[in-house]
Structure 1
Amino acid sequence: MPVDNIEINELNRDQLRERVNTAQRYQAWRDARERLSGFRGSLVWHRSGDGDYLLRSYYDSAGIRRQKTEGIRAPETERLKAQWDAQRDEATAREKALREVLARQASVNRALQLGRVPLLGARIIRAIDAAGLLGRGLRIVGTNAIYAYEAAAGVTVDASITTTEDMDLLMDARRSLRLAAAADIKDGTLISLLRKIDRSFERTRQNFRAANRDGYLVDLIPPAVDPPWRRGDVRIGASEEELTAIPIDGLAWLESAPAFEAVAIDEKGAPVRIVATDPRVFAAHKLWLSRQPGRDPLKRRRDEAQAKAVGRIVTRELAHLPYEADDLRMLPRAVFEAARPLFDATDAGLL
């Protein structure tokens, strides 16, 4: 792979306009969905003894259905129910309308060829987001993170360095992770979450990895610790089939780096929120990987190409992220200095 000739193409005006529209409309829909979620459960009249009582059903943080009475039927409780019903109807209508807007937007995005994120990968990321884990203990790392950097910068990079049939999930083992109750996932496990998307996903002999029938891989990885015995099994759910994260050197830099969030677009034109790691740290880590003698030569060349491409994206399009030591203290000095040329303005065509 000719790492010095990776193409980075800017979106045209029409594409940029619709990328902005997509992100704005997607955020409006997410806000509407969040408001609607506040009306999970019910508020109904219930006959008990000698009167009707207003009974509220709701779900607690553990997903357990609870009930409580708001009082006997009276003008005050009548008003409470009428207000609740009206607000729920309004929230339902708004969420539906914005969902329809996004469906129309997806058609526009397909016509403009804005779709980038592979469909299965996008579905997995959305499921992790809906489960309350994206950006709250899990980040997207590896090749799929590049789609976030592209989206934020308004560019696309050569497909030769973004095509992938796997996904790496960086698990922040400093946090206690649990799937949100709303995800309704059996046993609260990541493997069960994946099976809701594709029933063929199975944990492989490598316990940190799941694979489907087409060979798409999902890896759960945390940073390595020193000494290794300080970290026991790292997992999300308690099922015997759950993925058990495997520690990998160098990921502590990605874990400690600032999060980077952007709304990308999948192959069908639908938006997908990606929470990755800071692109400067991504590029430095990829360059470091490319120079590890034990790494597969083909992967080393791809690592170097990705490092150079992301470095150019940051330097050319993300000027608010300068390559400065004070911002990137999680990187070892040697790694920081080795990656400095990736962010050279002259090489990026700016000077």
Structure 2
Amino acid sequence: MNTAQRYQAWREARDRRFGFRGSLVWHHSGSSEYLLRSYYDGSGVRRQKTEGPRSPETERLKAQWDAQRDAATEREKALQTVLDRQAAINRALVLGRVPLLGARIIRALDAAGLLGRGVRIVGTNAVYAYEAAAGVMVDASITTTEDMDLLVDARRSLRLAASADIAGGALISLLRKIDRSFERTRQDFRAANKDGYLVDLITPQTEPPWSVDEVRIGAAEDELTAIPITGLAWLESAPAFEAVAIDERGAPLRIVAADPRVFAAHKLWLSAQPGRDPLKRRRDAAQAAAVGRIVGHYLTHLPYTAEPLRMLPRAVFDAAQPLFETADPALS
């Protein structure tokens, strides 16, 4: 809990410092001097406006802004030092679970304003959020992964808050800021780096399938285009689930995933699909069982009842119910 609390304090300090992006400087125009403010609007475009001619009032405004910016910067630095110390403790206790590259991608999505605001972490990486919330660890064999699935909500208009710093406001550009070797593959919903780590952009299948336009985040020529997949509407419509997990170096990160009850039910349904690869089906079933045990034994504030899970088809809901009734947690 110490890590989560300190991370929340750091996030608040970071957001406070981020609010001082831009500048407040004196600008000469002829024989006059004006206080000129540079700032970024909601779409990430840099803009300017004058606060008025130099006067005791504008001098006070600038002095106050400078002092608040400096204080925000110092607080963020101080809390970063605290987090660095906590990370060393977490490493010593072997608490880190989230692979480093995956953690960096999730943090970048968070910083860009996408995580939990149109993009959720699904697939294997979501399990780390459920583990962290419960304070347990599942068998590593079902969480080992070299890919990441990003569920994009086609119902929302998405824009990177950091678009001024990311070419085209594009997801592929964000990935390249993390690892320059990321390239879109022949499958235009997927990016891969030189080591074969995959990032897939996925979205729910609509009915009829041609009823919506392509789902993209940015405007780059090689931007990823989300692939529609049946069954993802359940995860899209599920309540959001947020937790602070720990990466392999002991540093915290925020993960926003779908409700673990819906995750488990969806994974169990996937494991029964005859056209799915047999190895993936077995892994789906194992993840469904593990997350069901986590919910049933540790996340007891999330009862497996129909009312909050109305997005699930009745047959899917009924089939998954036994996952949450097991008597043996069987967790690390």
Structure 1 equivalent of residue 186 of structure 2:
205
Quote how far apart the aligned CAs of 1:52 are: 2.2
Alignment partners' CA distance in 2, 1:82 and 1:240: 44
1:131, 1:183 within 8 Å by CA — same for their partners in 2?
A: no
Alignment partners' CA distance in 2, 1:305 and 1:181: 38
SS in 2 for 1:113: coil
Alignment partners' CA distance in 2, 1:199 and 1:181: 18
Alignment partners' CA distance in 2, 1:172 and 1:273: 19
Larger mean CA deviation between 255-264 and 179-188 belongs to 179-188
Quote how far apart the aligned CAs of 1:314 are: 0.3
2:163, 2:169 within 8 Å by CA — same for their partners in 1?
A: no
Task: Please list the CA deviations of residues 205-247 of structure 1 after superposition, one character each: whole Å capped at 9, or x if unmatched.
Answer: 1111111111111100001111111022111112221111111
2:111, 2:162 within 8 Å by CA — same for their partners in 1?
A: no
One-letter code aligned to 1:160: S
Task: Please list the CA deviations of residues 29-75 of structure 1 after superposition, one character each: whole Å capped at 9, or x if unmatched.
Answer: 11001111111111122222333222211122222222222122222
Structure 2 equivalent of residue 67 of structure 1:
48
Structure 1 equivalent of residue 312 of structure 2:
331
In structure 2, do the counterparts of structure 1 residues 183 and 194 end up closer, same or farther at CA, with 3 Å as the change threshold?
A: farther
One-letter code aligned to 1:343: F
In structure 2, do the counterparts of structure 1 residues 50 and 183 end up closer, same or farther at CA, with 3 Å as the change threshold?
A: closer
Structure 1 equivalent of residue 238 of structure 2:
257
1:117, 1:266 within 8 Å by CA — same for their partners in 2?
A: yes
- Pair 1:312-2:293 in alignment: yes
One-letter code aligned to 1:346: A
- Pair 1:166-2:147 in alignment: yes
Alignment partners' CA distance in 1, 2:256 and 2:51: 40
For residue 143 of structure 1, the aligned residue among 99, 124, 127 is 124
Structure 2 equivalent of residue 98 of structure 1:
79
For residue 238 of structure 1, the aligned residue among 219, 239, 246 is 219
Structure 1 equivalent of residue 112 of structure 2:
131
One-letter code aligned to 1:151: A
For residue 192 of structure 1, the aligned residue among 173, 183, 192 is 173
Alignment partners' CA distance in 2, 1:104 and 1:157: 26
Normalising by structure 2, we get a TM-score of: 0.97
In structure 2, do the counterparts of structure 1 residues 183 and 25 end up closer, same or farther at CA, with 3 Å as the change threshold?
A: farther
How many percent identity over aligned positions?
Answer: 81
Structure 2 equivalent of residue 175 of structure 1:
156
For residue 294 of structure 1, the aligned residue among 263, 275, 282 is 275
Gaps of 5+ in 1: 1-19
Quote how far apart the aligned CAs of 1:179 are: 1.2
Alignment partners' CA distance in 2, 1:302 and 1:60: 45
Larger mean CA deviation between 201-210 and 320-329 belongs to 201-210
Alignment partners' CA distance in 2, 1:183 and 1:101: 30
Alignment partners' CA distance in 2, 1:124 and 1:111: 24
2:43, 2:159 within 8 Å by CA — same for their partners in 1?
A: no
Structure 2 equivalent of residue 228 of structure 1:
209
SS in 1 for 2:83: helix
SS in 2 for 1:229: coil
1:61, 1:181 within 8 Å by CA — same for their partners in 2?
A: no
Gaps of 5+ in 2: none
SS in 1 for 2:38: strand
Structure 2 equivalent of residue 268 of structure 1:
249
One-letter code aligned to 2:80: R
For 1:9-28, list aligned pairs within 5 A: 20-28=1-9
1:130, 1:183 within 8 Å by CA — same for their partners in 2?
A: no
The aligned length equals 330
In structure 2, do the counterparts of structure 1 residues 216 and 37 end up closer, same or farther at CA, with 3 Å as the change threshold?
A: same
Alignment partners' CA distance in 1, 2:93 and 2:163: 35
